[in-house]
C-alpha cells in the first residue's frame, strides 16, 4: 500500500478530532435538555479517511454515524448544530433527527431513516454517473445490522449485475443496536461467536470483492481506501469494505 502523506493524515485527524468534539457538545446540550436527541459518531471517526480520495463529482449516501466523514467532506459545522436545535436553517428545516443531513453542493444525498434504503438509491445514482468522463464513484454506507436487509442485498446484486461504481462501506461495530451481529451477516456466516472467529473470511459476494479494513487504524484505513478507490475508478465496478470500528 502507498503511504499517506502528512497533509492527508493531518486533514483526516482534524476531521476526526472535530467530529469527536461535536459529539461532546451535542451530548452536553442534550443532557441539559436544550435538545431532544443526538446520535454519536464515536468510534466511527476513521470514516474520514475516505475523504482525501474523493472528488467533488463523487456522491455520498452516508450512515447516520458518519459525522467525521461529513466534516472532512466540508459540511459546515453550523449545520450540525442547526440540526441539533431543529433550526429552520437546517437541511430539513428542523423536521428530521439531528444526525440526518443532505447537501446538494457537496453531493451528500439525503440520508435515509429506514436503514438500507440508501443502497438502491446509490445504485441508481451510479447508473447515471458511470459513463461520465471524470469517473465518479458513489459511496453507500451502512451499519452491520443493515447488511441483512433485503434492500441492501438487492443493491449489491444490482451493482454487481450492472458493474456499477458503488463503494459499499459496512461500518461494523459488531452490534445491530442491541443485537450482536457476529455469525449473522453474509461476510460472517458462522453460527456462533466462537466459530465466526475461526471461520475463513469470504473474499467476494455476488462477485463483488470484499475488503476487511481495520477502522481503528486511520493510517491503515487511508492506505486501504486509496487502493480500493483507485481500482474502482479504473474498472468502474463495485466494491465492499467491511470497516471494523
What strands, in cross-sheet order, belong to the sheet with 204-205? Answer: 59-61, 138-143, 166-172, 239-244, 208-214, 204-205
Positive or negative: CA dihedral 210, 104, 109, 34: positive
Among 131, 137, 129, which residue's Cα sits nearest to residue 233? Answer: 137
Write out the H or E segment, with its range, that includes residue 243. strand 239-244
> Which superfamily does 6-244 belong to?
Thiamin diphosphate (ThDP)-binding fold, Pyr/PP domains (3.40.50.970)
How large a percentage of the chain has pLDDT more than 90? 85
Question: What is the Cα Rg of the chain in Å?
Answer: 17
Average pLDDT over residues 41-54: 97
Q: Is the pLDDT of residue 193 over 80?
A: no
Is 127 within 8 Å of 164 (Cβ atoms)?
yes
Check residue 192 and give its pLDDT: 46
Burial of 40 (0-12, 13-18, 19+ CB in 10 A): middle
Tens digit of each residue's pLDDT (9 = 90 or more) over 139-184:
999 999 999 999 999 999 999 999 999 999 999 999 998 999 988 8
Residue 61 is placed in which grid cell?
Answer: 449516501
Q: Which residues contact 22 (CB under 8 A, 6 or more apart)?
A: 41, 67, 71, 77, 80
Tell me the per-residue pLDDT of 78-91, one tens digit each, with 9 for 90 and over: 999 999 999 999 98
Burial 5-22 (b: 16+ CB within 10 A, else e): eeebbebbbebbebbbeb
Which residue do the cell numbers 500500500 mark?
A: 1
Q: How many other C-beta atoms are found inside a 10 Å radius of the C-beta of residue 53?
A: 20
What lies within 8 Å, CB to CB, of 189 at 6+ separation is 183, 199, 202
Q: What does the pLDDT read at residue 183?
A: 87
Whether the predicted pLDDT of 245 surpasses 80: yes
CA 223 to chain centre: 17
User: Is the pLDDT score of 197 beyond 80?
Assistant: no
Residue 190: pLDDT over 70: no
Distance of CA 26 to CAs 21, 89, 156, 193, 245, Å?
Answer: 9, 18, 34, 34, 21
List the domain boundaries for the chain: 6-244
Share of the chain above pLDDT 70, in %: 95
How much is the pLDDT for 196?
52
Distance CA 5, CA 2 (A): 9
Chain centre distance of CA 177: 17
In whole angstroms, what is the distance from residue 187 CA to residue 185 CA?
Answer: 5
Q: Which residues contact 242 (CB under 8 A, 6 or more apart)?
A: 144, 170, 172, 187, 210, 211, 212, 213
Amino acid at each position: 500500500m502507498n503511504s499517506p502523506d502528512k497533509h492527508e493524515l493531518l486533514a483526516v485527524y482534524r476531521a476526526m478530532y472535530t467530529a469527536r468534539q461535536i459529539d461532546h457538545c451535542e451530548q452536553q446540550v442534550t443532557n441539559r435538555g436544550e435538545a431532544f436527541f443526538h446520535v454519536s459518531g464515536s468510534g466511527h471517526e476513521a470514516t474520514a479517511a475516505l475523504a482525501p480520495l474523493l472528488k467533488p463529482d463523487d456522491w455520498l449516501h452516508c450512515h447516520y454515524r458518519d459525522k467525521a466523514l461529513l466534516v472532512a467532506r466540508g459540511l459546515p459545522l453550523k449545520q450540525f448544530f442547526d440540526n441539533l436545535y431543529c433550526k429552520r436553517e437546517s437541511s430539513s428545516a428542523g423536521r428530521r433527527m439531528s444526525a440526518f443531513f443532505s447537501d446538494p453542493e457537496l453531493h451528500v444525498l439525503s440520508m435515509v431513516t429506514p436503514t438500507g434504503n440508501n443502497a438502491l438509491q446509490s445504485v441508481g445514482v451510479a447508473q447515471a454517473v458511470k459513463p461520465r468522463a471524470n469517473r465518479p464513484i458513489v459511496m453507500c454506507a451502512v451499519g452491520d445490522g443493515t447488511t441483512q436487509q433485503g434492500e441492501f442485498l438487492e443493491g449489491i446484486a444490482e451493482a454487481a449485475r450492472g458493474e456499477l461504481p458503488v463503494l459499499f462501506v459496512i461500518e461494523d461495530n459488531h452490534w445491530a443496536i442491541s443485537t450482536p451481529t457476529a455469525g449473522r451477516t453474509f461476510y460472517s456466516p458462522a453460527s456462533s461467536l466462537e466459530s465466526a472467529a475461526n471461520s475463513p473470511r469470504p473474499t467476494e459476494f455476488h462477485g463483488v470483492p470484499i475488503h476487511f479494513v481495520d477502522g481503528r487504524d486511520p493510517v491503515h484505513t487511508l492506505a486501504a481506501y486509496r487502493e480500493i478507490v483507485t481500482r474502482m475508478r479504473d474498472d468502474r465496478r463495485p466494491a465492499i469494505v467491511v470497516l471494523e470500528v
